[in-house]
Amino acid sequence: MDIALIAVIVSLVGLAIAALLYKKVTSVEIDDPTVADITQQIQDGAMAFLKAEYKYLSIFVGVVAVLLYFVTEDDGHLTSLAFLGGALASVLAGMSGMRAATAANGRTAMAAQKDGQAGALAISYNGGAVMGLSVGGLGLLGISLVAYFLGAGDAGQTNITHAAGFGMGASSIALFARVGGGIYTKAADVGADLVGKVEAGIPEDDPRNPGVIADNVGDNVGDVAGMGADIFESFVGSIIAAMVIADSSANMNADYVILPIFLGLVGYMASLVGVFSMELLKNSEPGAALRNTTFIGAGLFWVVGWFGIGFMDLDTGTEPMIAVIIGSIVGILIGLVTEYYTGIEDVFGLKTKAIPHIGQMSKTGPATNAIAGLSVGMMSTFIPIILICFGIFGANHFMMDGHTSGSAGGYMPEFGLYGIAMAAMGMLATVGVTMTVDAYGPVADNAGGIAEMSGLGKDVRDITDSLDSIGNTTAAIGKGFAIGSAALTALALFAAYSAAAGLGLDQLALSDPKVVIGLLIGGALPFVVAAMTMTSVGKAANEMVTEIRRQFKEIDGLLEGKEGVKPDSAKCVQISTDAALREMVGPGVVAIIAPVIVGFALGSPALGGLLAGSLVTGVLMALFMANAGGAWDNAKKAIEQGHIEGAEKGDAAHDAAVIGDTIGDPFKDTSGPSLNILIKLMSIVAVVIAPALTITGWL
Amino acid sequence: MDIALIAVIVSLVGLAIAALLYKKVTSVEIDDPTVADITQQIQDGAMAFLKAEYKYLSIFVGVVAVLLYFVTEDDGHLTSLAFLGGALASVLAGMSGMRAATAANGRTAMAAQKDGQAGALAISYNGGAVMGLSVGGLGLLGISLVAYFLGAGDAGQTNITHAAGFGMGASSIALFARVGGGIYTKAADVGADLVGKVEAGIPEDDPRNPGVIADNVGDNVGDVAGMGADIFESFVGSIIAAMVIADSSANMNADYVILPIFLGLVGYMASLVGVFSMELLKNSEPGAALRNTTFIGAGLFWVVGWFGIGFMDLDTGTEPMIAVIIGSIVGILIGLVTEYYTGIEDVFGLKTKAIPHIGQMSKTGPATNAIAGLSVGMMSTFIPIILICFGIFGANHFMMDGHTSGSAGGYMPEFGLYGIAMAAMGMLATVGVTMTVDAYGPVADNAGGIAEMSGLGKDVRDITDSLDSIGNTTAAIGKGFAIGSAALTALALFAAYSAAAGLGLDQLALSDPKVVIGLLIGGALPFVVAAMTMTSVGKAANEMVTEIRRQFKEIDGLLEGKEGVKPDSAKCVQISTDAALREMVGPGVVAIIAPVIVGFALGSPALGGLLAGSLVTGVLMALFMANAGGAWDNAKKAIEQGHIEGAEKGDAAHDAAVIGDTIGDPFKDTSGPSLNILIKLMSIVAVVIAPALTITGWL
């Protein structure tokens, strides 16, 4: 039976399981009226934002679909259709994941009160699992359908580059979701903190603060929907890249084209087992339980993949699985290095120096705190880059075995490049379970916020706090996977682009001035997009500050906590929503227009340069910004928890650390993550337009 | 007569003129004992630092010279000798320029008191001219001697890559001087400001502050010596790059090899005229006078170059001069764009938005000020990058005319790459006069500080302030030249490297995983060096803070300004000196070791990738850091000068702006400028080791 068809069936089964898990989550009753009210407000705010966002995007998607029909050479309707499918699949994954996450957070707080830690863990995990299984299932379903209808893997291969349309649809939604979600969440967070915590001196998550609901909505919009869309497009991107490379090569047979779908299928089945294993693990230590569900998924994937691949007709044998395993290991190591630079705890006995350094530098004020955070962020890029290089080297090395001057004749670089796509798959194939853990984090975080706002008491708060803190550690690994897989996926897509554009080695030479021009422009784009998104957060936060100040001033008794006086939270939700929708347009347009302009004006080699340039600075800036932001955040927490000698909550050093944390907010939650998607989106746009480009361009 | 020989003679004449100008400056008597004392302290501190630095570096230079002797293939002693010559020439230029600048600053203050503005302008300009003419003269002298002895331009061309040794010597000194000088000046500046202005509430340049002398020494060490060494190596680097490209090409005759020396010669003569024109211009408006000396130099260079080139045997005709002119224009435009993003005044009627934006964002505190400054810095990279791309495109385009498929046969990319080196020369050939203006700035600045410390009165201070402020505007153009020429020089050196390593187009392909690995590692290095230098400034500033606090506490009557009580300034000078010497080692070693390791381990294509990667992120980070720092600085000034509505000196917004300015200090004066040199030094190391590398490397 056709592998693509099996994948379609399995993903449908997985989606059905996700629906059952959603039922299970919502079956928990919320019998505290305050919890019910706040949960409803957060869910309404989040769904309202998603709907408004998708309404905007449907216009954009429609226009691009029409343009694609005309731009892409013959069979343009296939690319257009695939594009629409990719966008739709991403939207569906986002909607269902969001609905589940926002349903689960209040219920996690309730479960903590009624059933204790194990019950709360199960609910929050299942809330995340709906997102995980939706992302994995819809990704696998969509790409399998596309492959099935395009006849990939048949003896007579059709032009698989149309499948890139699916990836472009997913990537477009992802960029807008990440940028919009990132702006939403940070405008609310920064605004609520600046007026509430700093000016009015009331605690975080205090129900008097009009920005608190927007802040909690933002956690879902940014971390759940944004992260989900990001991972979704990485997952389909890595599959598509491998398929295009294999399809364009005269040396790779049809089984190489179908292999990525096979791996996605195995990974998804392994993820299902991993997710279910939580039922058995939920009574053990929660951190270990979370990690073990991931390990079970990954282990099963490796074992089944290793044996399964033997049944395929590949002249590289099991080498693709070696590349897969290298990719997984690199992802895990990047996560641990991230933890080393941004975490308070030591990593495997390695004493962290970064957080104590920033803590110390906070004592001489905000300027030295800022300098320290920025330099920690910059320094933290190096080891992950070296790890990514190891991944590239290893994947290329093993796959090239016998293809440098083998009997088949000559140098066949496509095998090595295919291996890089396999390494990306190593971080992405078990997306069903890794994404579950990623989405679990904000659910646990929100549960804590709701418990605080509803006054559920210290016992409940202790449980949600502990669930939240283990979420942070596993989230670091998740970020490592996100960044590592973005780099490798973008690189694989770059290879797919050069294959699709028919660029020979001598046409992508660094000594060609047009390639260098592309490289420089591509390198500058992540700086531009980072600047745009940071400015957007600043502007939106300013509006939020003005509104919250107004409410504290004009609503009698609000700040004093008078019985029955409530803030106008809806107004703050509206400000964040409007700002996110308005400000997400610019970066999205840049990402789609830039490759088109450079490709047509300067030719396909220059566009290749652009992709390489944006890959380099995009990955570096994403690492820099994410890690600087994480380090500032934890330096503040380290002071609060008494880890920094001579500094404590409320003193000048702590004030400086709070300022650093605020600088880091748009770094780690808006600009940094946007760059991961930027580089992938530009790459996939390039793959789609590749057949229409010329070598010389118009200039 | 041999052009190289003429260049030797002319440069010796120029150096003699520099000596006469030095005499002229020192002939002004300082009859105020306080001015004399402070001038002496600054000069002693600066010269002591330079001597200590050069002592350290002599060991380093000796070791590298020996290694070079063994690493480079046959005739290694020539590369070694050239290396020693380059280092020595850079040291001599630094010493003489520094001696003149530190002699001129106190005398400028005296002249302002005795002769008014015209006299003060002449002294400060001549003080800078010693540096300008030394840099230009020693650069031209050294490279001409090397070319003469290697027989460049003779019918039987010898292996000119040995000349790269000269560039490597100059670059090594430059990196250490920039990094050391940058750490010195910012440690003193940040330390003196944090305790003096912020904690003790005394004005800048107050004689009670123990860190003030170190701060003034730092201005010279960083801006005069550091900048001089930087420009010196760009100047010789661009000449060497063009010579190596021409020498390695079978299609370019000997006149192409000697052309860069010819252009350097014409530019130097034009600079001499420009410098002398100050005698006629000094009574006109000082800003116009400064600019006009530069314009006279540039105009003469263009005219004489255009006609002179006609006498050479070049089958491209005057095209190289078109590339030269394109380069100059790009440099000027980058300067204006820099001014647009970092200046308070409108540029050519274009309303600046960046400074008002940062000013507004300062009102909500240091965090939003920091976010605004960072985003302005990131955004400001885009247009300069596009301008650099225009420069590359234009220079390549005109030089390739007739060489893409001409009668000589086939595609000859070396002509285009040679054109890029010519564009770099467009910004660098008149270094004699542009460097004069650059060095004038810190002299005028220091003159103001000395006037303040010596209580010379408001009239004197008004003159020095106005001289200082026009220095800032022209300095922006100078920075544009520094960054633009660094980018083009590095690119030309990259081309020289690929020629020297014999890399064909297909061996520098972006689709080769090893090239990508090089690209990623190269891209990460500027982040690493930026992090190292920022951390160094933070650490050194901390030591300085502790020492100044101690003196204020332990020296009775110091803070109260008791008659006869003086701070222990020498101690602060010592702290800056020690920190600079200790901390400059790391970045210097990285820059030299990284290309060697990657080149030998991964092969020459990977090293090509490394150079390209470091070029992209190095230029971007240099622009980002320099402009963010400049913008923060001026946002603070804009508030002080009343340009920002609702904010004024001393309020919370101003406090936030001061914090932003402090974050920007290491950005603009340490890390940013270091990156310009980093990319050139790595490129030239690559050119030197190129003949010893293999395609595959050890791995």
Specify the 3-state DSSP secondary structure of A350. strand
**B520 at the A interface (CB within 8 A)?**
yes
**A513 at the B interface (CB within 8 A)?**
yes
B 134-193 near A (Cβ less than 8 A): 190
Q: What is the pLDDT of residue A207?
A: 84
Contact A432, A272 (CB under 8 A): yes
pLDDT digits (tens, 9 = 90+) for A193-238: 888 877 788 887 888 899 988 998 998 888 888 889 999 999 999 9
* Residues in B touching A508 (Cβ below 8 Å): 509-511
Say if the Cβ atoms of A534 and B378 lie within 8 Å.
yes
Q: What is the pLDDT of residue A511?
A: 86
Q: What is the pLDDT of residue B408?
A: 47
pLDDT digits (tens, 9 = 90+) for B486-540: 999 999 999 999 988 888 888 888 989 999 999 999 999 999 999 999 999 988 9
What single-letter amino acid sits at B644?
I
Among A344-358, A377-391, A658-672, B217-231, whose mean pLDDT is lowest? A344-358
Contact A612, A516 (CB under 8 A): no
* Residues in B touching A416 (Cβ below 8 Å): 513
Q: What is the pLDDT of residue B406?
A: 45
Q: Is A458 exposed, middle or buried (0-12, 13-18, 19+ CB in 10 A)?
A: exposed
Say if the Cβ atoms of B617 and A612 lie within 8 Å.
no
Q: What is the pLDDT of residue B155?
A: 41
CA distances from B571 to A395, B212, B214, B299, B443 (A): 56, 11, 9, 48, 24
Nearest to B616 among A368, A519, A528 (CB): A519
Measured from the Cβ of residue A462, the count of other Cβ atoms closer than 10 Å reads 14
* Residues in A touching B663 (Cβ below 8 Å): 367, 370-371, 374
**B626 at the A interface (CB within 8 A)?**
no
Confidence of residue B151 (pLDDT cuts 50, 70, 90): low
Q: What is the pLDDT of residue A170?
A: 93
pLDDT digits (tens, 9 = 90+) for B413-424: 889 999 999 999
**A493 at the B interface (CB within 8 A)?**
no
Q: Tell whether the model's pLDDT for residue B257 goes beyond 80.
A: yes
Q: Tell whether the model's pLDDT for residue B153 goes beyond 60.
A: no
Rounded to whole angstroms, the Cα distance separating A200 from A209 reads: 9
CA distances from A560 to A201, A205, B680 (A): 12, 16, 62
Say if the Cβ atoms of B528 and A378 lie within 8 Å.
yes
Among A506-520, B136-150, B159-173, whose mean pLDDT is lowest? B159-173
Rounded to whole angstroms, the Cα distance separating B159 from B151 reads: 9
Q: What is the pLDDT of residue A658?
A: 92
Taking the CA of residue B149 and the nearest CA in chain A, the distance in Å comes to 30
A 407-426 near B (Cβ less than 8 A): 413, 416-417, 420
Q: Tell whether the model's pLDDT for residue A536 goes beyond 90.
A: yes
Taking the CA of residue A625 and the nearest CA in chain B, the distance in Å comes to 11
Q: Tell whether the model's pLDDT for residue A572 goes beyond 80.
A: yes
Q: What is the pLDDT of residue B76?
A: 64
**B513 at the A interface (CB within 8 A)?**
yes
Say if the Cβ atoms of A361 and B538 lie within 8 Å.
yes
Overall average pLDDT of the A611-628 stretch: 96
Q: Of all residues in chain A, what percent are helix, strand and coil, respectively (each to 5)?
A: 80, 0, 15
At a CB cut-off of 8 Å and minimum separation 6, what does A63 contact? Answer: none
Model pTM score: 0.94
* Residues in A touching B371 (Cβ below 8 Å): 534, 537-538, 663, 666
Confidence of residue A465 (pLDDT cuts 50, 70, 90): confident
For residues B588-624, one letter each, b for 16 or more C-beta atoms within 10 angstroms of the residue's C-beta and e for the rest, the string is bebbbebbbebbbebbbbbbbbbbbbbbbbbbbbbbb
| Nearest CA-CA partner of B129 in B434, B342, B429 | B434
Kindly provide the ipTM of the predicted complex, given to two decimals. 0.93
* Residues in A touching B388 (Cβ below 8 Å): 520
Please count the residue pairs, one from chain A and one from chain B, whose beta carbons lie less than 8 angstroms apart.
251
Percent of chain B with pLDDT over 90: 55
pLDDT digits (tens, 9 = 90+) for B292-332: 898 999 999 999 999 999 888 887 778 899 999 999 999 88
Q: Which is more confident, B350 or A519?
A: A519
Most trustworthy range by pLDDT among A314-318, A433-437, B58-62, B611-615: B611-615
Q: Tell whether the model's pLDDT for residue B576 goes beyond 70.
A: yes
Nearest to B617 among A509, A535, A620 (CB): A620
* Residues in A touching B376 (Cβ below 8 Å): 531
Among A120-124, A476-480, B617-621, whose mean pLDDT is lowest? A476-480
Q: What is the pLDDT of residue A407?
A: 45
Among A172-181, A372-381, A463-472, whose mean pLDDT is lowest? A463-472
pLDDT digits (tens, 9 = 90+) for B625-679: 999 999 999 999 999 989 999 999 889 999 999 999 999 999 999 999 999 889 9
The dihedral formed by the CA atoms of B371, B373, B377 and B380, expressed in degrees to the nearest 10: 110
* Residues in A touching B520 (Cβ below 8 Å): 385, 388-389, 392, 616, 619
Q: Tokens standing for A538?
A: 């600043």
Give the ranges where A407-557 is alpha helix by DSSP (H): 413-428, 431-454, 458-500, 513-554
Q: Tell whether the model's pLDDT for residue B75 goes beyond 50.
A: yes
pLDDT digits (tens, 9 = 90+) for A134-177: 999 999 999 999 888 776 555 444 567 778 889 999 999 998 99
pLDDT digits (tens, 9 = 90+) for A538-558: 889 988 988 999 999 999 888
Q: Tokens standing for B697?
A: 């490397």
Overall average pLDDT of the A502-519 stretch: 90
Specify the 3-state DSSP secondary structure of A531. helix
| Nearest CA-CA partner of A63 in A580, A450, A528, A588 | A588
pLDDT digits (tens, 9 = 90+) for A664-686: 999 999 999 999 889 999 999 99
Q: What is the pLDDT of residue B473?
A: 66
Say if the Cβ atoms of A510 and B512 lie within 8 Å.
no
Among A66-70, A104-108, A478-482, whose mean pLDDT is lowest? A478-482
Q: What is the pLDDT of residue B500?
A: 87
Contact A474, A172 (CB under 8 A): no
**B95 at the A interface (CB within 8 A)?**
no
Rg for chain B, CA atoms, rounded: 24
**Best residue of A183, A360, A364, A414 to probe chain B, by most B CBs closer than 10 Å:** A364
| Nearest CA-CA partner of B138 in B99, B168, B166, B102 | B166
The dihedral formed by the CA atoms of B12, B16, B18 and B20, expressed in degrees to the nearest 10: -170
**A601 at the B interface (CB within 8 A)?**
no
Measured from the Cβ of residue B503, the count of other Cβ atoms closer than 10 Å reads 22
* Residues in A touching B379 (Cβ below 8 Å): 527-528, 531-532, 535
Q: What is the pLDDT of residue A406?
A: 45
pLDDT digits (tens, 9 = 90+) for A359-380: 999 998 899 999 999 999 999 9
Confidence of residue B74 (pLDDT cuts 50, 70, 90): low
**A624 at the B interface (CB within 8 A)?**
yes
A 366-385 near B (Cβ less than 8 A): 366-368, 370-372, 374-379, 381-382, 385
Overall average pLDDT of the B83-88 stretch: 94
DSSP output for B326-393? HHHHHHHHHHHHHHHHH-SS-BTTBPP-HHHHHHHHHTT-HHHHHHHHHHHHHHTTHHHHHHHHHHHH
Taking the CA of residue B463 and the nearest CA in chain A, the distance in Å comes to 33
Rounded to whole angstroms, the Cα distance separating B421 from B245 reads: 9
Q: What is the pLDDT of residue A611?
A: 97
Q: What is the pLDDT of residue A408?
A: 47
Nearest to B495 among A396, A511, A528 (CB): A511
Average pLDDT across chain B, whole number: 89
Q: Which residue of B has its CA nearest to A632?
A: B367
